[in-house]
Amino acid sequence: MAQSFGQTEINWDKLDKTRFYVVGAGLFTGVSVALYPVSVVKTRLQVATRDAVERNVFSVAKGLLKTDGIPGLYRGFGTVITGAIPARIIFLSTLETTKVAAFRMLEPFRLSETSQAAIANGVAGMTSSLFAQSVFVPIDVVSQKLMVQGYSGHAQYSGGLDVVRQVLRTDGIRGLYRGFGLSAITYAPASAVWWASYGSSQRFIWRFLDHGAKYDEVAPSLQKIMLVQATGGIIAGATSSCITTPLDTIKTRLQVMGHENRSSIKQVAKDLINEDGWRGFYRGFGPRFFSMSAWGTSMILTYEYLKRVCSKDE
């Protein structure tokens, strides 16, 4: 990486890994607590049938609060947090190590700093997402069933373990990996687009701000670094959500279907078109757009803060 950008980023070899994982678990749990309700609302909107009464953001949130209070906005949260810790360890470890390797492989090609960042971050984002899916998909299946239970005709469960028992009884272990292929082709490109957009937009912004014009210049202030990182997170979240929402809608519908309503990707797509036309593929787009932008900004600021806290003393 160029020396100018090196003043604003902490690489994998500079981190205390034990502290990184322990502190990271706490920080990302806090971010998840803040943003989880948006995921619940988004998921319910994506699975709503044509005759569902609650078909917009406010009516879904109001309905949950009316029937269950605040806990209704956190359905499946315990399952997600339990599975998120190993999934995040896999994701972050793969992300950072792959990113370093990708930058080294690209050095002989003499690409611009922005192009190099886009490719290296994109490859790292896609690779880390593919590895993390092995843990994330079963958690996704269970948590989404809990999110939509009792809504628009979906079954009721007594908790995450009850979901697992019922899925295993009807579909076996494959039931916990329903939608795995679609999940991979949804989240892997989304992760690639997100990290490519984030990496390249940061370099573009720093260049626009004329940082790095001189090698001996003073490093930018922490506030300035955080502002650039937050802007990069917003750009990345917006870009990724626009591209991948249709696949996410189909994947969510497949994962929450009961054994008796098993369907194919093609049939789910047809049903969405029949119900709402092509707009059906963008059900829940508003919450997902907000969630990915807000999560992206919060996550990257938390992540970059985590790396600063966990950097080794020189």
pLDDT, position 49 = 73
pLDDT of 43 higher than 60: yes
pLDDT digits (tens, 9 = 90+) for 184-205: 887 888 899 999 999 999 888 9
Confidence of residue 55 (pLDDT cuts 50, 70, 90): low
Average pLDDT, rounded, for the chain:
85
**Residue 9 belongs to some domain of the structure:** no
Q: Is residue 7 part of a domain?
A: no
3-state class (DSSP) for residue 311: strand
Q: What is the mean pLDDT of residues 3-11?
A: 61
Q: Does residue 6 form part of some domain?
A: no
Whether 11 maps to a domain, the answer reads no
Question: Among the listed ranges 15-19, 58-62, 125-129, 292-296, which one has the minimum average pLDDT value?
Answer: 292-296
**Separation CA 18–CA 20 (nearest Å):** 5
Residue 294 contacts residue 41 (beta carbons within 8 Å): no
Name the E strands within the chain: none
Judge whether 96 lies within some domain: yes
Q: Is the pLDDT of residue 103 over 70?
A: yes
Residue 32 falls within a domain, yes or no? yes
Note the pLDDT of residue 52: 64
- Please state the domain count of the chain: 1
Q: What is the mean pLDDT of residues 253-282?
A: 83
Residue 2 is assigned to a structural domain of this protein: no
CATH code of the domain in which 52 resides: 1.50.40.10
Structural tokens at position 223: 């506030």
Q: What region does 159 belong to: left with phi over 0, alpha with psi -120 to 50, or beta?
A: left
pLDDT number for residue 7: 55
* Helix, strand or coil, per DSSP, at residue 15: strand
Domain assignment of residue 103, given as a range: 17-310
Q: Which of 164-168, 239-243, 300-304 has the highest mean pLDDT?
A: 164-168
Q: Regarding predicted confidence, which is higher, 6 or 91?
A: 91
pLDDT at 209: 83
Contact in structure between 13 and 307 (CB atoms under 8 Å): no
Distance CA 291, CA 39 (A): 7
Q: What whole-number distance in Å separates Cα of residue 249 and Cα of residue 281?
A: 6
Res. 58: pLDDT tops 50: yes
End-to-end distance of the chain based on CA atoms, in angstroms? 20
Please choose, from the candidates 304, 311, 302, the residue with its C-alpha nearest in 3D space to the C-alpha of residue 28: 302
Supply the DSSP symbol for 312: P
Domain membership of residue 255 (yes or no) is: yes
Tell me: the pLDDT tens digits for 224-255? 889 999 999 888 988 888 888 888 888 888 88
Q: What's this model's pTM, rounded to 2 decimal places?
A: 0.76
- Can you give the pLDDT at residue 122? 95
> From CA 200, how far away is CA 120, in angstroms rounded?
10
pLDDT of residue 183: 82
Residue 177 has pLDDT above 50, yes or no: yes
Whether the Cβ atoms of residue 64 and residue 113 lie closer than 8 Å to each other: no
106-110, 145-149, 193-197, 220-224: which range is least confident on average? 220-224
How does residue 258 score in pLDDT terms, banded at 50, 70 and 90? low
CA atoms within 13 A on the CB side of 208: 8
